Structure 1
Amino acid sequence: MSKYLISIVGPTAIGKTSLSIKLAQHFKTEILSADSRQFFKEMTIGTAAPSAEELNAVQHHFIHHKSIQDDYNVGAFEEDAIQTLNTLFKTHDVVVMVGGSGLYVDAITNGLDDFPKVDDSIRVQLNKDFETKGITYLQEQLETLDIQSYNSIAIDNPHRVIRALEICIGTGKPYSSFLNKNKAKRDFKTITLGLTADREIIYNRINMRVDLMIQQGLVNEAKTLYPYKALNALNTVGYKELFNYFDGNWTLDFAISEIKKNTRRFAKRQLTWFRKDQPILWFDYEIPIEKIISELNAKIKQQ
């Protein structure tokens, strides 16, 4: 029998974690997280990491296995996750993967894109530009050099913008032109499920989740991480807004409203990423689990 990776994607706050646990229990298997911020053990509330009860319900991998001070990137994750999958597929025919970080999901299902080597001085200069001129300056550069990447990457993430720009500048070609060229061969088949809802519903769920995070203690969690705010892991919605509050730049109410706004923007980018080109079985977020399982079984029989 072929081995299957069931990958669950969709915007933040749509219910991916709950669905992943139900499917893992049905298939008697385990879960890989492809959420790049849930890797970090110091970031729990602000990343909506699975609760202790959820973690106990099914064996999870890549949840809180790193520190914010560890140097961990998508290349390292791809290597670690493929090794874990190879082990799991020895005893399971199906493994579930869940996460809203499109680049990390793609790294497992398709493999990373191969980029040419560029001069390190380009990144050094771009980092200086970021420090002196701000993210907007870099975003405007990327919009000019590669509008496709500007519209698809996490444009508020300086690391991602700088990475795209260094390829554009170093090669004279758009970063996006190197994408989807030579994909890695995988020893398993992937079936991707997407959860979605009307935009108003998604945005309302996001607003309610942020309110719940505040009730659960997000402000105090962010306060403990404030001394490390320069780390890339903490350039994350939910934390960076509160750091502005701690700096005295914003009121708490305004910081919370910015978390909601930036999370809504993030959800919009997630949907753009996941709808771009890959075959996804899309389901309404309220669809009964039995219907999803039925369609999954039918899909497996077809292959």
Structure 2
Amino acid sequence: MKKNLVIAVVGATAIGKTKLAIELAKHFKTEIISADSRQFFKEMTIGTAVPSNEELIEAKHHFIQHISIKDAYSVGDFEKEATAKLNQLFKSHNTVILVGGSGMYVDAVVKGLDDFPEAPNSIREELNQQMKTNGLKSLQELLKKKDPVYYEKVDLDNPHRVIRALEVCIASGKPFSSFLNQLKPQRNFKTLYVGINAEREIIYRRINLRVDKMMQEGLLSEAKHLHQFKNLNALNTIGYKELFSYLEGKISLDEAVAEIKKNTRRFAKRQLTWYRKNENIIWVDFDDSLESKIAKIKNALENE
């Protein structure tokens, strides 16, 4: 019996993952699961670069704007829902496309999550209050004391990750890193990682152009509408937090846009660092033709 296949399309932000995922979905006559955690929220559209209506028509997507910024939603929730959706899709498709810039969310589906102890909600509430009062830097310093190993690996600019690690440290009395790399659940599919490669200058140029396009499409208006929810975790993200600073009179609009571009470039760099550690990725060049990319994917599948 032919084993189910997940083709995971990965790479830096703004590099063309959505376009390739759609082309692969059409080629393999299948559907797409999005693992981009920024695109889960229905109130956030422009700043998260969700697929356009035309793109959503070209290929069926799942987990695009399916929850509210007010909903509590974790990578564990996504893993459960995405694996359930995969099992449903495998009843009518041998292949499913998984696409996303969130490396942790992609790996959660492909490899499963480590098993962490439960933490009382009160701990998260206290940490959120500490961040509100003393800033993210205070939580970063606390994590450095409690788990210097994970401190060196985690995306320190992501409050979700920092708070999650501290929750586990405080609740268990053990470092968050001590729970990593445990025995994971077996999956009923094989995975082919396909990464889109490009020179750093190309990635950075595409990022800058995308930010300019977002501003032209009304990102500032979207940020104004969402400003009242700025303390929600979902809104503590690139593209919104910089414009919130502008709306509060802390920086100029030009400075806010420049910060969005700079922080997005840094994010892309972290994404590439994450994916470079995965030796199983088949890299295709950004400017390769679609035919060349599909040929490389088929060749990799045949040689397994």
- Report TM bin, short chain: over 0.9
SS at match of 1:14: coil
Q: Does residue 234 in structure 1 map to residue 235 in structure 2?
A: yes
CA shift at 1:31, angstroms? 0.5
TM-superposition CA deviations, 1:7-58 (whole Å, max 9, x none):
0111101110011011111111111100111111111110011011100101
Task: Spell out, residue by residue over 1:185-219, the C-alpha distance to the aligned partner (whole angstroms, 9 max, x if none).
Answer: 11000100111222222111111110110011100
CA distance in 2, matches of 1:176, 1:291: 40
Per-residue Cα deviation, 1:105-135 (whole angstroms, up to 9, x for no partner): 1110011111134566654443343222211
Deviation at 1:173, TM superposition (A): 4.0
| Paired residues, number | 303
Residue of structure 2 in register with 1:9 after alignment: 10
What is the alpha-carbon distance in structure 2 between the residues aligned to residue 281 and residue 231 of structure 1?
37
Structure-2 change in CA distance of 1:39 and 1:118 (3 Å): closer
**Secondary structure at 1:38's aligned position in 2?**
helix
Matched, 1:83 2:84: yes
The aligned residue for residue 267 of structure 1 is 268
The DSSP-based 3-state class of the residue aligned with 1:96 is strand
Residue in 2 that maps onto 1:220: 221
2:103 is aligned to 102
Q: Distance in 1 between matches of 2:147 and 2:292?
A: 41
Separation (CA, whole Å) in 1 of partners of 2:134 and 2:279: 36
Letter in 2 for 1:245: Y
Q: 1:13 to 1:142 in 2, by over 3 A?
A: same
What per-residue deviation string (whole Å, max 9, x for no partner) do you get for residues 73-125 of structure 1?
A: 21111111111111111111111010001111111001111113456665444
Asked if structure 1 preserves the Cα contact closer than 8 Å seen for 2:282 and 2:297, the reply is no
Q: Residue 63 of structure 1 corresponds to which residue in structure 2?
A: 64
Q: What is the alpha-carbon distance in structure 1 between the residues aligned to residue 11 and residue 150 of structure 2?
A: 20
SS at match of 1:129: helix
Secondary structure, aligned partner of 1:32:
strand
Letter aligned with residue 199 of structure 2: D
The Cα of 1:181 is off from its aligned counterpart by 1.2
Report if the CA contact (8 A) 1:167-1:173 is conserved.
yes
Distance 2:237 2:49 in 1: 12
* 1:248 matches 2:249: yes
Offset at 1:271?
Answer: 1.1
Contact 1:142/1:165 (<8 A) preserved: yes
Q: Conserved in 2, the CA contact under 8 Å of 1:4 and 1:94?
A: yes
Distance in structure 1 (CA, Å) of the matches to 2:60 and 2:127? 41
Separation in structure 1 between the aligned mates of residue 7 and residue 152 of structure 2, nearest angstrom: 27
Q: TM-score when scaled to structure 2?
A: 0.94
Separation in structure 2 between the aligned mates of residue 149 and residue 15 of structure 1, nearest angstrom? 31
Unpaired runs of 5+ in structure 2?
none
2:114 is the counterpart of 1:127 = no
In percent, how many aligned pairs have the same letter?
58
2:50 is aligned to 49
CA, structure 1 residues 127+244, in 2 after alignment: closer, same or farther (shift >3 Å)?
same
Structure-1-length-normalised TM-score: 0.94
How far the C-alpha of 1:142 sits from its partner, in A, is 2.6
The alignment's C-alpha RMSD in Å is 1.7
Q: Secondary structure at the match of 1:100?
A: coil
Q: Which runs of 5 or more residues in structure 1 are unaligned?
A: none
**Local SS of the residue matching 2:37:** coil
